[in-house]
Amino acid sequence: MASVVAIVGRANVGKSTIFNRIVGERISIVEDVAGVTRDRIYATATWLTKEFRLIDTGGIELKDASFVTQIKIQAEIAIEEADLIVFVVNGREGVTQEDEYVARLLQKTKKPILLAVNKIDDNAFINEIYDFYSLGMGDPIPVSGSHGIGIGDLLDEIIKNLDFTEEEFDEDEIRFSIIGRPNVGKSSLTNAILGEERVIVSNIEGTTRDAIDTAFEKDGQKYRVIDTAGMRKKGKVYESIEKYSILRALSSIEKSDVIVVVIDGQRGVIEQDKHVAGYAHEAGKGVILVVNKWDLVEKDEKTMQKKEKELRSQFKYLDYARIIFLSAKTHQRVPQLFPLIEESFVNSHKRVQTSVLNDVLVDAQAINPTTTFNGGRLKIFYANQVSVCPPTFILFVNDPQYLHFSYKRYLENRLRDSFGFEGTPIHIICRKRD
């Protein structure tokens, strides 16, 4: 579980320049399935082999908000989400009233804060930094985001102030999170799950980030629901900001084995649902699609089937995910969610025997031989499963470019039929064997 660092400061001091400088070319769009063009406000950074996550709170914008509203939200998010805050000021302008206001907001937290004085492009400006002692934030660190000066020193300080001890997890425990846009019923579902008969809630523990995970046991299986939205204080202005909810979702996804994506069965799918689901898919973990508020839907015996078909076409990339129609309010089918979570977990951790895997692939090619594509015909020599979460297979072939997309799809389906990978994505990688 990587530590989180948030960059805070008033507009134009250079937050996003510093963010980009630290993250560099690391942001890559792996697979832009849901048409999510990732805004650069959240990324993983590495320094001296240490990894942490970085948020540019300046990218979380509220339309037409005043400076005060905007900065309050940024500070609040930073305080809530981060383990360390980098407060950026403009060394060319001296301390402004706005900087003082930000400093006051940040003083509320006990989390470590580093003061980065930006735009110190050369030594001629170095004396400007002393002014900033008045903010009461400790020693100012001179940097130049645009020239890359002092960024190494800033990173050294960041690393020094973060805790990199790994959290220990119980291996028998299934960690899952419930994500979705606001008001789809995440909190209600969490409460319904925890309120189920024979659910034994063993402990509630707050971690450093004030996140609340809840461990419980159901039918002999241990679970942990990550960052239980239901336990969070609600009604904060920023909860409705899409970028913020994505941020929250991403951090829960990272800690989970299985992602429960909730949509509102009554209101139907909107763009934001697709974004959330897209992130869940990209994580390569188990996914379950929950259609909540099913009690509100007027239905006959065909409604569920129709709805499922509709959802399958709206979430094509989630073809492996089970869909369950339930009501967090009446608890209808809530008990059936547990076996789905377990199935998804088990399948995403499944390892298949190499010999059986190769038999399946030989049979698959016998039934449906490869054809010529890109100037050649694919020959698969042998295959190996190299990892789990998601199950990943390497096929050693004569030339990867002969693999047609539809043939890859076919092989994937054969593996699914043979081994049962419901609830989890699987990856197939082709390698040239010389």
- Residues 6 or more apart in contact with residue 385 via CB below 8 angstroms: 351, 352, 354, 357, 391, 392, 393
Strand-pair partners of 173: 222
Task: Tell me if 181 is assigned to a ligand binding site.
Answer: yes
Site for ligand GDP in 223-252 (CB under 6 A): 229
Nearer to ligand GDP, 188 or 370 (CB): 188
Least distance (Å) from ligand GDP to the CB of residue 140? Answer: 14
| Cβ distance to ligand GDP smaller for residue 9 or 391 | 9
> H or E segment at 311?
helix 303-314
Q: Is 16 annotated as a binding residue?
A: yes
The reply to whether 9 sits in an annotated binding site is: yes
Decide if 355 contacts 321 (C-beta within 8 A).
no
Interface residue with ligand GDP, options 86, 102, 260, 328 (CB under 6 A)? 328
Task: Identify which range of 156-164, 183-191, 274-282, 359-367 contacts ligand GDP by CB under 6 A.
Answer: 183-191
Closest approach of ligand GDP to the CB of residue 20, in Å: 8
Query: Binding ligand GDP by CB under 6 A: which of 3, 17, 251, 370?
Result: 17
Ligand-binding site membership of 213 (annotated): no
CA distance 114 to 209: 18
Q: Are 230 and 191 in contact (CB under 8 A)?
A: yes
Q: Which two tokens stand for residue 64?
A: 């037409």
294 is in an annotated binding site: yes
58 binds ligand GDP (CB under 6 A): yes
Minimum gap (Å) between residue 29 Cβ and ligand GDP = 21
Residue 347 among known ligand-binding residues: no
119 interacts with ligand GDP by CB under 6 A = yes
Number of chain residues interacting with ligand GDP (CB under 6 A): 32
Phi first, then psi, for residue 404 (nearest 5°) are -80, 145
Task: For 188-285, list the strands marked E by DSSP.
Answer: 199-206, 212-218, 221-225, 258-264
**Does 370 sit near ligand GDP (CB under 6 A)?**
no
Interstrand relation of 3-8 and 84-90 (parallel, antiparallel or unpaired):
parallel
Which residue among 2, 16, 303, 428 contacts ligand GDP (CB under 6 A)? 16
CA separation for the pair 190, 213 (Å, rounded): 11
Distance CA 167, CA 254 (A): 13
Among 112, 138, 182, 335, binds ligand GDP (CB under 6 A): 182
- Contact range with ligand GDP by CB under 6 A, out of 75-83, 140-148, 364-372, 392-400: 140-148
* Residue 10 labelled as part of a binding site: yes
Dihedrals phi, psi of 114, to nearest 5 degrees: -110, 140
Check the annotation: does 198 bind a ligand.
Answer: no
Identify the residue among 185, 391, 423, 425 touching ligand GDP (CB under 6 A). Answer: 185
Secondary structure of residue 411 in the 3-state scheme: helix
Element (H, E) at 105: helix 97-106
Biggest alpha carbon–alpha carbon distance for the chain: 77
CB atoms within 10 A of CB 379: 13
What mask, x for binding ligand GDP by CB under 6 A, covers residues 295 to 324? xx----------------------------
The answer to whether 227 and 259 are in contact (CB under 8 A) is no
Site for ligand GDP in 396-415 (CB under 6 A): none
CA nearest neighbour of 18 among 5, 3, 4 = 5
Residue 263: which of 194, 179, 202 has the closest Cα?
179
- 3-class SS of residue 59: helix
**Measured from the CB atom, is 118 or 370 closer to ligand GDP?**
118
Which of these segments, 125-133, 142-150, 271-279, 409-417, binds ligand GDP (CB under 6 A)?
142-150
Residues that bind ligand GDP (CB under 6 A): 9, 11-17, 58, 118-119, 121, 144-147, 180, 182-188, 229, 292-293, 295-296, 327-329
Binding site for GTP, by residue number, is 9-16, 56-60, 118-121, 180-187, 227-231, 292-295
| Residue list for the binding site | 9-16, 56-60, 118-121, 180-187, 227-231, 292-295
